[in-house]
Amino acid sequence: MSAAPLVAALSRDDFHARARAELAFVYGEHAPDILQRLEALIDQHQAGTAREPRPLWSEQTQMMITYGDSIIEAEDSVPLEVLERFLREHLEETFSAVHILPFFTWSSDDGFSVIHYRRVSPTVGDWPQVRHLAGRFNLMFDLVINHVSRESLWFIDYLSDTPPGRDYFIELPEQTDVTSVTRPRNTKLLAPVSTRRGMQHVWATFSEDQIDLNFANPDVLIEMVGVLLYYLDQGARLIRLDAIAYLWKELGTSCIHLPQTHAIVRLLRAVMERVAPGALLLTETNVPHLENLSYFGNGDEAHIVYQFTLPPLLLHTLTTNDARALTEWAATLPPLPSGCTYLNFTASHDGVGVRALEGLLAPHDIETLLELMQRFGGFISMKTGPDGQDSPYEINITYFDALKGTRRGADPWQIARFICSQTIMLGLQGIPAVYVHSLLATLNDHEGVTRTGRLRAINRKRWQREALEPLLEAYSTPTHIVFEALTERLKTRRQEPCFHPDAPQKIIDLGPHFFAFLRGPLPDGRRLLAVHNVTDRSHPLNLPEAYARHHWRDLLGRIDPESDAPVLKPYRSCWLISWD
């Protein structure tokens, strides 16, 4: 594709108009005062800042997801420096962006219970190491916007009835009816806390250590915009809004995806466009597909949303040897708004969410998948519905072990099946994101689950580099085979303009054995046909006449599409390129 247009900063007048509209919707008559405070904060921030226009993305935009200490060395080493060396030595020509999961001081949930938003946890390093990484890669920071640790200074203020924090949280009588509130967990929504004023109960969507902030108080909004600006100053080029769907609370509603939440996302988008043109906003909303897509808004909310349906639907596809459900779903994806795209992934620090399968798979297929994942060593985390009943929320398992077999059980095809899953993800329209433990073919960390008591620890192993390097070097290890295959595909992908996030995509139904899609054509006629055998049997590749008439070349070197009877072996993929 031709070079993406540069994104210029939003003018002061345009920002003023957009921010005024969103603040008026959320805060009514208080909006003018809030807007004045907000603009003063931005003016102060911009005083020493020069932001050059930048393109949003290209085919070279590829992301790795990792904790700051996913790879560690000796006790006296700085994990962020270890990460930088690992990236430089192994992945310099592979990833353009790195999502460093929350690296701030925290008390639980491996970083998502933030004590201090502006301090780096000494267990991983400090701001100089973060800024050094930002000089080599586009970094994504988490803005954990929905809640804070009960050890944070704001919550300590609340406990002692001291401003400003005393007004930053939602306090309700213990017997308040909260049954209509959508829950992503099966813990109680109202957490008891002992304060100077006696025992109180505060809103805690995720855990008793993660106390929700009260955005009905505009001071909280101003605080969080200040944090956002600080992250941009420290080198963040992408901002991930953690758990954003639950931001606004209103008793009597589901308290998820409320209009005020969408308005605040639009406001944050406008702030970023004003101060950091080309910086990207990503919303994290592990919910059914259409709800997730709502965070594009009219092209004025998130630049990027997670493709949450892809991970569980790929598991279903590759464990049933049947591409029909995946093909039908992918064919229904709506056109992307201008300036918006997907973050395609299969695994992350969280489990594999199953809510995205609602309405796509029959209940018995979902139940069978959950049972299979347990057979392969995984766990199932639950949530509580409005009726008080628990239901599955996510699968806790490494994606590599999730694909150790099919419904028939474990088999010898684990590595090939896993590489197929990643190849599908890499080719789809959007930006690909590869979790470090997928790159390394990490097995289920049951020891971590036992040590921490947390199911999600199964997919959050901390690798000792001295143990990891021999596995990367030995030709016969799954770690070496997967790492080499994925890095080669990533290097190939970033050189192919058909993989630009804005390049068109068309799903092609080649029957249940194959998942196939076309990327392009580009203005010069170039097109790429991606075909994946999702079964454990070889199958002849018979292209429809509309595609067979083109002259194809396989970028992956797996087949000769010009032969009389090309065959795609089990779980093999091909990226066929043509420009005629």
pLDDT at position 241 is 98
pLDDT at position 511 is 96
Residues of the chain with pLDDT under 70: 1-6, 47-54, 386-387, 564
Residue 354 lies in a domain: no
Residue 493 lies in a domain: no
CB 355 within 8 A of CB 287: yes
pLDDT digits (tens, 9 = 90+) for 145-181: 999 999 999 999 999 999 999 999 999 999 999 999 9
- Please state the domain count of the chain: 1
Three-state secondary-structure class, residue 211: strand
User: Distance (Å, rounded) from C-alpha 254 to C-alpha 512?
Assistant: 38
Residue 537 lies in a domain: yes
CB 403 within 8 A of CB 319: yes
Residue 325 lies in a domain: no
| Positions marked active-site | 242
* List of E strands, 328-426: 341-344, 352-353, 379-384, 390-396, 405-406, 409-410
pTM, entire model: 0.95
pLDDT at position 235 is 93
pLDDT at position 4 is 55
pLDDT at position 548 is 81
Residue 306 lies in a domain: no
Tokens representing residue 312 in the block: 């569980």
Annotated binding site: 109, 147, 240-242, 349-350, 456
Tokens representing residue 256 in the block: 């998820």
Residue 208 lies in a domain: no
pLDDT at position 386 is 65
Annotated binding site for substrate: 109, 147, 240-242, 349-350, 456
Residue with tokens 């809004």: 241
**Cα 394-315-372 angle, rounded to 5 deg:** 70
User: Distance (Å, rounded) from C-alpha 74 to C-alpha 93?
Assistant: 27
pLDDT digits (tens, 9 = 90+) for 356-372: 998 999 999 999 999 99
Q: What CATH number has the domain bearing residue 523?
A: 2.60.40.1180
Containing domain of residue 558, as a range? Answer: 505-578
First to last CA, the chain: 16
Dihedral sign for Cα atoms in the order 571, 445, 238, 142: positive
pLDDT at position 384 is 74
